[in-house]
């Protein structure tokens, strides 16, 4: 038996085989009861900005996972399985859905309700965006204290961002990653995927998009590189300006720790 359309959304809840089903997408479950994040991503529309790997790196996700695993030592809250994707416990599924959008969060909650009760949900009239957001905030009200604490923790870091923005000089991407306390590969990937840098066909060197140069986030700088054989090579390098680093630091706040 499947759950009827809720608010115009098809097939949410319990599929014919008892699997969790959201907007027609069956969400796989492993032998330990965890649910597949990749299936959730597809059910949410599969947008790159919502990919699980980005959410998994958030400090809030890491903290929630740690709390859950302390409650049940020896049982991983998140587990990647080769060829199958990444599986997570129900509480983390809720958190991932809320990160995507309040609307999708509600779809997931209702789908789990249908899975647990096996009952048909009464169709609801379409809600306005304001009502949907208000309902989601009510559901999340239990996390209000946690949110206030996070805001308090981030407040002193704001001064650090200002210090970066007013600093002199630029950084290469690798040094920028060190300043942000993230892996250089993650920063390179982010810049390539989000319209900061690109590679010309047949070239190993990155170039900055003109819009990022015009906004003052990136610059091109001619530098001299020492080859392994001792000779020098003059090359053009993309560098992150203090202004660009300040913007990036706000995208990776949990990983930035600036000492006054």
Q: What is the pLDDT of residues 72-90, one digit of tens each?
A: 888 999 998 888 899 999 9
For the residues 229-235, what does the mean pLDDT come to?
75
For the residues 4-17, what does the mean pLDDT come to?
37
Determine how β-strand 171-172 pairs with β-strand 78-81: unpaired
Q: CB–CB of 173/187 below 8 Å?
A: yes
Residue 194 has pLDDT above 80, yes or no: yes
Tens of pLDDT, residues 100-144: 999 999 989 888 888 776 654 334 445 455 554 554 554 455 445
Q: Which of 92-96, 241-245, 248-252 has the largest mean confidence?
A: 92-96
CA distance 121 to 114: 7
Helix, coil or strand: residue 115: helix
Residue 5 has pLDDT above 50, yes or no: no
At residue 97, the pLDDT reads 93
Residue 16 has pLDDT above 80, yes or no: no
Whether pTM exceeds 0.85? no
Extended beta strands in 118-209, E state? 171-172, 197-199, 206-208
255 vs 147, residue with greater confidence? 147
At residue 229, the pLDDT reads 77
At residue 203, the pLDDT reads 73
């Amino acid at each position: 038996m499947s759950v009827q359309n809720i608010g115009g959304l098809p097939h949410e809840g319990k599929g014919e085989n008892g699997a969790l089903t959201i907007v027609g997408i069956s969400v796989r479950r492993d032998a330990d009861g965890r649910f597949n994040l990749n299936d959730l991503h597809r059910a949410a529309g599969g947008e790159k900005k919502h990919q699980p790997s980005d959410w998994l790196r958030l400090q809030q996700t890491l903290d929630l996972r740690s709390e859950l695993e302390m409650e049940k030592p020896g049982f991983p809250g998140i587990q990647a399985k080769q060829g199958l994707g990444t599986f997570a416990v129900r509480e983390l599924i809720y958190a991932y859905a809320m990160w995507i959008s309040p609307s999708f969060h509600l779809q997931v909650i209702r789908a789990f309700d249908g899975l647990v009760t096996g009952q048909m949900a009464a169709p609801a009239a379409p809600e306005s965006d304001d009502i949907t957001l208000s309902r989601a905030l009510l559901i999340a009200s239990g996390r209000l204290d946690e949110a206030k604490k996070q805001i308090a923790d981030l407040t002193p870091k704001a001064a650090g961002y200002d210090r970066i923005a007013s600093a002199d000089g630029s950084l290469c991407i690798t040094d920028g990653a060190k300043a942000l306390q993230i892996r250089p590969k993650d920063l390179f990937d982010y810049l390539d995927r989000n319209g900061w840098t690109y590679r010309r066909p047949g070239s190993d060197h990155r170039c900055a998009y003109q819009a990022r140069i015009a906004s003052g986030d990136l610059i091109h700088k001619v530098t001299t590189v020492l080859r392994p054989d001792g000779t020098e090579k003059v090359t053009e390098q993309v560098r992150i300006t203090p202004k660009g680093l300040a913007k990036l630091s706000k995208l990776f706040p949990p990983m930035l720790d600036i000492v006054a």
